[in-house]
Structure 1
Amino acid sequence: MSDETTATVDPAQMTGLELLRWMGTQVNDRPSIGRLLGMEMREVNEGSVSFALTPRADFSNPLGTVHGGICATLLDSVMGCAVHTMLPAGVGYTTLELKLNYIRTVPLDGDELTAHGSVIHVGGRTATAEGKVLDKNGKLVAHGTTTCMIFR
């Protein structure tokens, strides 16, 4: 998209699915948690999304492995964005509850993590979703659920 086209895009007029797909096309994306952590959108579909990131030394906990907050942020992002794909234009959301289970430690070896989120239910005021984080070999690293509040 050219700068002229980008300037005419009004995110408030886009459905959640349209907005996330548009954001995935932006080369010079705006500051965000995704940019800070190096998240990359892999798939954005109605009711499901996948993001990936490569751990780096800055993600270390005191034990020398990836801090659990990295997986928590990945899960919060994919589950929330999965809900977002189901929302009409002008409707927002926020995380009300986040429940995570950590299955194994993640080494700081530079191997990519992939997170998948999918919607369980979207109602009038709340939505639920589930997600999982996998290592490069497809082994489960963490999984969780979320409840989101919907602002209509």
Structure 2
Amino acid sequence: MDRQRTYSWGDPAELIAAMGREESHLAWMQGMLEGRLPAPAFGATLELRPIEASLERLIFAMPLREWMLNPAGGIHGGALATLLDSAMTLAVIARLDRSKIATTTTLTTHFVRPLVADGSEVLAVAEVLYCGRTHATAHARLTDAQGRLAAHGDAAFAIVAAPFEAR
């Protein structure tokens, strides 16, 4: 029998509109942490869970599930790269003026340790290295349930106008 997976997500338009209403991007992220705002739809797909959002760092958790396996039996690198990218992107956005967002231009991921689908969570801790008017850079570490480094990544971002009207 084929396995199945069902999940739901909040209205993306609601989340985008809330970005324009909140007093800052950090307040917007706090709304997601507190459950007042829905998680981004793609984050719901991977079951990303925000743990902490501050101007210093951003932390996401992700459970290691069977449906994330690659053909060799490890967690697919694309899922891990997405976790790192999501954490770094939001870490940069937290520092930006409300009228701006960040979009990834370069992502480098280094896989250090294979991960298995044991139901445990991995943590991605992202920190901004540089944030200027037109571009930013960030670094993130991904650790397993035992605190061991499993992957790390670096990203560069373009700083662009936010997609909502309330600028």
TM over 0.5: yes
| Structure 1 moving runs of 4+ over 6 Å | none
Q: Does 1:65 align with 2:74?
A: yes
Query: How has the CA–CA distance of structure 1 residues 46 and 39 changed in structure 2, closer, same or farther, with 3 Å as cutoff?
Result: same
Query: How has the CA–CA distance of structure 1 residues 28 and 86 changed in structure 2, closer, same or farther, with 3 Å as cutoff?
Result: closer
Please tell me the residue identity of whatever aligns with 1:12: G
Q: Does 1:131 align with 2:131?
A: no
Displacement of 1:26 in angstroms is 2.4
Residue among 90, 93, 110 paired with 2:102: 93
Alignment match, 1:12: 20
Q: Which 5+ residue runs of structure 1 have no aligned equivalent?
A: 1-5
CA offsets, 1:40-77, max 9 Å, x none?
A: 11110113100001111110100111000111011001
TM-score (norm 2): 0.81
Which SS does the other structure have where 2:75 is aligned?
A: coil
Greater CA drift, 19-28 or 138-147: 19-28
Q: Which 5+ residue runs of structure 2 have no aligned equivalent?
A: 1-13, 162-167
Residue among 51, 73, 79 paired with 1:42: 51
Distance in 1, matches of 2:61 and 2:18, equals: 27
Question: Percent same amino acid among aligned pairs?
Answer: 31
Alignment match, 2:60: 51
Query: How has the CA–CA distance of structure 1 residues 115 and 87 changed in structure 2, closer, same or farther, with 3 Å as cutoff?
Result: same
